Amino acid sequence: MAKLFYWIAPVYTGLIIYFSISDSPAPSVDINNIDKLYHSGAYFIMALLWYFFFYSRFLTQQSHFKFTWKDMIAAWSRTIAIAAAVFSFIIGVIVELAQEYIAYNRTMDFMDAVANTIGIILAVTSIWLLSKRFNTYS
């Protein structure tokens, strides 16, 4: 289980960075500001994956503890959630800056950064709310 989280978060983040900076177009849908929904969804997933990544790295240091993803949700860690949120936010800011200064045919958009942040906040809030449901210790 832990080995899955060791590579899935970095690979997913790498793909988000690649597609955000490359000249590849997003899927075309005739809805205003659909790209903001794409941003929120992508960063929602990213924050979740980094939460599990950081949590699994912490738990593997505890050799006596066997864990599942439900255990990581039930035993909510504010510190790990903040680390995942801050890390995802920094990635989002770096991507927006790269779109402005490095990428060809891409521009930085403040509202994209806002959409990224909304996705991150929703991810952390979702984990916190799910921890209330899965927590059998209280």
Query: pTM of this prediction?
Result: 0.86
**Torsion sign (Cα): 48, 50, 51, 57:** positive
pLDDT value of residue 32: 80
Mean pLDDT of 2-23: 88
| Block residue for tokens 């809030």 | 125
Q: 50 or 134: which carries more pLDDT confidence?
A: 50
Q: Could you read off the pLDDT of 55-97 as tens digits, one per residue?
A: 888 877 766 666 777 777 778 889 999 999 999 999 999 999 9
Nearest to 123 by CA among 67, 58, 73, 71: 73
Q: How far apart are CA 61 and CA 87, in angstroms?
A: 21
Token pair in block for residue 120: 């991150």
Length of the chain: 138
Token pair in block for residue 121: 């906040």
Q: Could you read off the pLDDT of 101-132 as tens digits, one per residue?
A: 988 788 888 999 999 999 999 999 999 999 88
| Block residue for tokens 């709310």 | 129
